[in-house]
């Protein structure tokens, strides 16, 4: 159900109509009396076949309407959710601030969101909860703009600190990928689609293991993945990297994609301005940890 006009109050607000937002809206609304509102920055492109048909995926890369700021849309995940009477969606609506109520006794409560819609700023109250599902990069952006984050960053941007939480925007994990395409000799059969093959031996295994053991995890949350990587070093047959051989519709070309399966380096993603229209800044930090 498309919300029109934009409501002033609902029970649950979900910021972001991507996979997480749509799935959560669908599950939480099932058999519930509560009202749910999904706010999505992107346009409603649910009628576009290259969105609803996964085989048409390649069209997305050509689109001028979708950018790598992840201004994506509610895809087929939303279809079931938005058929429910108690779930509504507003597209091209960007949450710019979480409204937090510090005046009530007890813990701080998110009481709604401020939204930029049709060139105006609206406040929408949440009677029960605000759920932030704005994706890896825009979730920390919204938290920091709302005063939830590391003190030094917020102080430097003159954003009042509402909740000091230095982990916001930290510990981003990403698979570094290198891609090489090459032309094949005539007559080489390449088959259809892509083939995924895992397992690559590390040439300086011992040296890498020693380096790895010298460095303790920088962040406590990384301990689990450190343990997994330790196991990989201990067992020569474990996968340490993967490669994907893909044939992207070109009869005589193959693409080799090399990818870390368990990166230990951690990225960060933070705002660098109070301006809500500015994209957050990502520091990839590749290879900062062996
Ligand atoms: C190139 C690429 C390839 C990937 N390949 C895979 C893969 O093969 N397998 C896999 O499992 N995962 C893959 N991922 C990761 C996958 O896309 C994410 O894990 C998944 O989309 C996360 O879902 P999400 O709902 O958290 O975020 P998203 O799907 O990013 O949804 C967030 C939504 O919030 C909206 N939004 C952001 N800020 C606001 C705001 N302030 N107000 C309102 N709306 C807002 C955005 O427009 C977006 O629609 C890939 C990602 C990329 C970029």
Is 189 a domain residue? yes
Range of 183's domain? 177-267
> Does residue 65 form part of some domain?
yes
- CATH number, domain of 41, equals 3.50.50.60
Q: How far apart are CA 70 and CA 19, in angstroms?
A: 12
Classify strands 109-117 and 268-270 as parallel, antiparallel or unpaired: unpaired
> pLDDT higher for 288 or 268?
268
> CA 263 to CA 225: how far, in whole Å?
9
Our answer on whether the CB atom of 72 is closer than 6 Å to any ligand 1 atom is: yes
- Domain contains 285: no
The predicted model scores a pTM of 0.78
Mutation test of ligand 1: which of 134, 244, 257, 278 has the most ligand atoms closer than 8 Å to its C-beta?
Answer: 134
CA distance 189 to 146: 56
Residue 21, ligand 1, Cβ within 6 A? yes
Clarify whether residues 129 and 188 are in a common domain.
Answer: no
Query: Which of 133, 157, 187 finishes a domain?
Result: 133
Same domain membership, residue 129 and residue 14: yes
Reported as a single tens digit per residue, the pLDDT across 93-126 is 999 999 998 655 678 899 999 999 999 999 999 9
**83 plus 189 within the same structural domain:** no
- Report if residue 38 sits inside a domain: yes
- Assess whether 181 and 129 both reside in one domain: no
User: Which residue has its alpha carbon closest to ligand 1 atom 27?
Assistant: 135
Asked whether residue 124 is assigned to any structural domain, the reply reads: yes
Whether residue 184 sits in one domain with residue 83: no
Q: Are residues 219 and 104 in the same domain?
A: no
What average pLDDT score do residues 208-230 get?
Answer: 69
Residue 71 lies in a domain: yes
Indicate the number of domains in the chain: 2
Q: Is 212 among the domain residues?
A: yes
Query: What percentage of the chain exceeds 70 in pLDDT?
Result: 65
- Beta carbons of 275 and 265 less than 8 angstroms apart: no
Q: Indicate if 87 and 18 belong to the same structural domain.
A: yes
In a domain, 123, yes or no: yes
183 and 129, same domain (yes or no): no
More confident residue, 242 or 152: 152
Domain finish residue from 133, 166, 194: 133
How far is it, in rounded angstroms, from Cα 22 to Cα 15?
A: 10
Regarding whether 101 and 13 lie in a shared domain, the answer is: yes
State residue 61's pLDDT score.
Answer: 44
Tell whether ligand 1 has an atom less than 6 A from the beta carbon of residue 140. no
Residue 150 near ligand 1, beta carbon < 6 Å: no
Please indicate, yes or no, whether residues 120 and 200 belong to a single structural domain of this protein.
no
* Distance in Å, CA 198 to ligand 1 centroid: 25
Q: Alpha-carbon distance 179 to 177, whole Å?
A: 7
For residue 172, the CA-to-ligand 1 centroid distance in Å is: 14
Question: What average pLDDT score do residues 120-144 get?
Answer: 97
Instruction: State the residue for tokens 């509560």.
Output: 34
């Amino acid at each position: 159900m498309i919300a029109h006009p934009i409501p002033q109050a609902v029970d649950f607000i979900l910021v972001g109509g991507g996979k997480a937002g749509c799935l959560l809206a669908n599950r939480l609304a099932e058999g519930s009396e509560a009202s749910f509102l999904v706010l999505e920055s992107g346009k409603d492109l649910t009628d576009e076949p290259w969105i609803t048909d996964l085989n048409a995926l390649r069209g997305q890369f050509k689109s001028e309407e979708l950018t790598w700021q992840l201004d994506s849309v509610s895809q087929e995940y939303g279809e079931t959710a938005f058929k429910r009477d108690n779930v509504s969606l507003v597209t091209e609506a960007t949450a710019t601030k979480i409204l937090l109520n510090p005046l009530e006794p007890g813990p701080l409560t998110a009481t709604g969101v401020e939204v930029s819609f049709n060139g105006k700023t609206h406040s929408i109250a949440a009677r029960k909860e605000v759920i932030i599902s704005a994706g890896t990069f825009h979730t920390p952006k919204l938290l920091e703009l709302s005063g939830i984050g590391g003190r030094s960053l917020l102080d430097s941007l003159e954003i009042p600190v509402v909740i000091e939480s230095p982990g916001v925007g930290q510990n981003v994990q990403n698979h570094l990928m290198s891609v090489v395409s090459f032309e094949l000799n005539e007559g080489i059969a390449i088959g259809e689609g892509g083939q995924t093959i895992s397992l690559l031996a590390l040439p300086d295994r011992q040296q890498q293991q020693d380096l790895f053991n010298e460095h303790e995890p920088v962040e406590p949350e990384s301990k689990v993945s450190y343990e997994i990587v330790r196991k990989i070093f201990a067992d020569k047959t474990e996968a340490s990297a993967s490669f994907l051989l893909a044939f992207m519709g070109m009869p005589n070309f193959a693409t080799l994609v090399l990818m870390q399966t368990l990166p230990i380096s951690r990225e960060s993603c933070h705002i660098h301005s109070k301006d809500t229209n500015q994209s957050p800044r990502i520091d990839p930090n590749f290879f900062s940890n062996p």
